[in-house]
Amino acid sequence: MSRGDQPALPPSREITSSIGALAAPKTPPHPVQTSTLPRDERITLISLLALCFGVMAFGGFRLWRRSVDDLMRSEGSRRDGHQG
């Protein structure tokens, strides 16, 4: 079969029907529709994730605040001439 004998694909590479109208491509279902977890369990898991994020953010803020306080104390003792 030579190159001229092959049927040409439409520019969009979608399959056309016999009268030339484009056929609708099949799309996979939305991920929420295919979830294997019941709605109550999903809500519980999302709530636990939010709680863990909040605890971690609070802990990070406290550590940052403590390091700033330590830095301020060490700056003050350097100005006063104390070592330590």
Report yes or no on whether pTM surpasses 0.75.
no
Mean pLDDT, residues 19-32 taken together: 63
Mean pLDDT, residues 54-74 taken together: 95
pLDDT score recorded for residue 12: 59
Domain ranges in the chain are 39-84
Name the amino acid, one letter, at 14: E
Task: For residue 14, report the phi and psi dihedrals to the nearest 5 degrees.
Answer: -95, 155
Cα 73 from chain centroid (whole Å): 40
pLDDT tens digits for range 43-60 = 999 999 999 999 999 999
Mean pLDDT, residues 8-36 taken together: 63
pLDDT score recorded for residue 61: 97
